[in-house]
């Protein structure tokens, strides 16, 4: 499993992050070891309070453990990974908090160790911990026969898009037929009484009059292609100057292209809203399914917990009844029978704990599978809507886009992703 870690302070903020039930469908406090606190927040605050007696500003060492998406990893395997991490870094005797998160059909763990050696009141130094944890991640993958991610094989093979959306699709430049443009310009030149009408008519075909680099008259189409007006009309430049306003009154080619881009952005936003509008009912239904599934999963876990608690109490009472009282109990103690019963009870209690944990893991596995199937539907809808968005963009911008347009589209995209119809799916 992928292990990521960081040294940090601010225990309260970390506690809020690890207890976040808004972004995580299930949050389970699994363990608090060597701590007097009963809650995660109090435990982390306890570490921070211990650090007050030292000069350490980052007393918390936070690790996340993320297994492959296609693997069911037991609670015991998570614990083994945490123990290996602690041993690798010299934190095996330190207090720690262990939390499980579940989201989108996947389960991962967070472990927060105290870096403070309470006996000597100093912070434990963790040199090169990122490199060490990368080595441990490789060891875990290889020992379990999992396929190593490319990033662990060779850093040059890292995919920078793993945690971002796919780049907007780029289409090759598609030129318009110059013969058609020539016909349009000649037709409207003949039938337009003045320059204003001529400009208005050609704009209906996605053409704008502009000032060329050599102070001549040019026409720019919505795709950014530039055509000489004198060449298209078969007229000399001086004849055009006698019938048109001076070129100084016209926008430059770059200004016309920028104006077209602004118009295309407005049209693009309209298209994107239409796409989103079609997908709103689909995402609403998926969101309701996810919420219903989350409630059902929590209820099932609650029922299992109550069932196990009742069984534990009954088994405890049954084991307790094995002890005799009075003189018989005194005689059992003398002949060693009481000691044998205690050993038997301890063994059975331990086996019961293992059985209960296996039952919880089995329930979690089945719920993760169910959630993953729903997540496939969610991912399919997301892929469809992103594909439609990208198709709209490539339709409007078939050639290389100016930097400011890329920034605008990226902001629009990020807002749409963040909103995603208020999904949080």
**Shared domain check, 138 and 8:** yes
Looking at the fold, whether 92 and 212 belong to one and the same domain comes out as no
Q: What's the pLDDT score for residue 65?
A: 96
Same domain as 86, residue 223: no
Q: What is the pLDDT of residues 326-358, one digit of tens each?
A: 989 889 888 999 999 999 999 999 999 999 999
- Supply the range of the domain harboring residue 283: 265-422
Q: Is 151 domain-assigned?
A: yes
CATH number, residue 112? 3.30.930
End residue of a domain, out of 157, 183, 208: 157
Report the distance separating Cα 341 and Cα 338, nearest Å: 5
Q: Is 123 found in the same domain as 50?
A: yes
Q: Where are the alpha helices (DSSP H) in 148-252?
A: 150-153, 178-191, 195-203, 229-233, 237-243
Residue 165 domain-assigned (yes or no)? no
Same domain, 397 and 362: yes
Residue where a domain terminates, one of 229, 251, 273: 251
Per DSSP, helices labelled H in 321-335 are 326-335
Q: Are residues 9 and 141 in the same domain?
A: yes
CA distance 319 to 352: 12
Same domain, 291 and 408: yes
What per-residue confidence (pLDDT) applies to 175?
47
Q: In this structure, are 373 and 287 located in the same domain?
A: yes
Q: Are the C-beta atoms of residues 102 and 25 closer than 8 Å to each other?
A: yes
How far is Cα 414 from Cα 425, in angstroms, rounded to an integer?
16
The verdict on residue 177 lying in a domain is no
Considering the domain boundaries, does residue 60 fall inside one? yes
CB 150 within 8 A of CB 372: no
Minimal CA–CA distance to 46: which of 94, 82, 11? Answer: 11
Predicted local distance difference test score (pLDDT) of residue 401:
54
Collect the ranges in the chain with pLDDT lower than 50: 154-175, 417-418, 421-424
Q: What is the pLDDT of residue 190?
A: 85
Distance, in Å, from the CA atom of 361 to the CA atom of 251, rounded to the nearest integer, reads 69
- Angle in degrees, CA 256, 261, 263, rounded to 5: 95
Q: Are residues 125 and 245 in the same domain?
A: no
Q: Are residues 12 and 60 in the same domain?
A: yes
SS3 for 209?
A: strand
Rounded to whole angstroms, the Cα distance separating 220 from 218 reads 7
pLDDT for 69: 86
Within this chain, do residues 196 and 278 fall inside the same structural domain, yes or no?
A: no
pLDDT at 177: 54
What pLDDT sits at residue 39? 94
Task: Please check whether residue 178 lies inside any domain of the structure.
Answer: no
Residue 291 confidence (pLDDT): 92
- Reported as a single tens digit per residue, the pLDDT across 210-247 is 988 776 899 888 777 888 888 888 888 888 888 888 88
Residue 168: its pLDDT value, please?
A: 27
* Cβ within 8 Å of residue 216, ≥6 positions away: 228, 229, 230, 237, 247
Last residue of a domain, one of 106, 131, 157: 157
Total domains in the fold of the chain: 3
Task: Using DSSP bridges, classify how beta strands 60-66 and 207-211 pair: parallel, antiparallel or unpaired.
Answer: unpaired
Q: Are residues 246 and 356 located together in one domain of the fold?
A: no
């Amino acid at each position: 499993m992928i292990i990521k870690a960081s040294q940090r302070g601010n225990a309260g903020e970390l506690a809020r992050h690890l207890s976040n039930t808004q972004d995580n469908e299930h949050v389970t406090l699994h363990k608090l070891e060597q701590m007097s606190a009963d809650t995660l927040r109090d435990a982390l605050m306890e570490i921070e309070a211990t650090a007050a007696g030292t000069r350490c500003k980052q007393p918390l060492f936070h690790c996340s453990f993320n297994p492959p998406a296609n693997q069911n990893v037991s609670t015991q395997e998570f614990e083994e990974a945490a123990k290996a991490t602690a041993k690798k870094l010299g934190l095996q005797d330190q207090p720690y908090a262990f939390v499980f998160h579940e989201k989108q059909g996947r389960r991962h763990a967070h472990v927060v160790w105290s870096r403070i050696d309470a006996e000597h009141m100093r912070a434990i130094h963790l040199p090169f911990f990122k490199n060490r944890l990368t080595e441990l991640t490789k060891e875990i993958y290889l020992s379990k026969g999992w396929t190593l991610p490319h990033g662990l094989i060779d850093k040059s093979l890292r995919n920078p898009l793993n945690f971002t959306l796919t780049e907007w699709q780029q289409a090759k430049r598609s030129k318009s037929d110059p013969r058609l443009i020539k016909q349009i310009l000649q037709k409207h030149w003949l039938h337009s009484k003045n320059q204003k009408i001529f400009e208005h008519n050609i704009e209906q075909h996605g053409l704008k009059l502009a000032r060329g680099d050599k102070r001549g008259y040019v026409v720019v189409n919505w795709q950014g292609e530039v055509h000489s007006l004198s060449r298209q009309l078969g007229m000399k430049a001086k004849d055009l100057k006698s019938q048109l306003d001076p070129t100084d009154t016209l926008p430059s080619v770059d200004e016309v292209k920028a104006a077209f881009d602004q118009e295309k952005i407005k049209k693009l936003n309209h298209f994107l809203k239409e796409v989103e509008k079609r997908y709103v009912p689909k995402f609403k239904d998926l969101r309701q399914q996810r919420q219903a599934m989350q409630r059902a999963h929590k209820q099932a876990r609650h029922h299992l917990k109550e069932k196990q608690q009742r069984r534990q109490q009954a088994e405890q009472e049954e084991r307790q009844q094995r002890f005799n009282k009075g003189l018989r109990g005194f005689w059992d103690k003398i002949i060693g029978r009481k000691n044998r019963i205690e050993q038997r009870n301890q063994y059975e209690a331990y086996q019961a704990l293992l059985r209960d944990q296996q039952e919880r893991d089995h329930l979690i596995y089945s719920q993760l599978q169910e959630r993953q199937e729903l997540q496939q539907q969610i991912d399919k809808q997301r892929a469809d809507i992103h594909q439609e968005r990208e198709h709209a963009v490539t339709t409007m911008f078939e050639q290389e886009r100016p930097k400011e347009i890329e920034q605008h589209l990226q902001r629009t995209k990020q807002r749409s992703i963040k909103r995603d119809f208020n999904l949080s799916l």
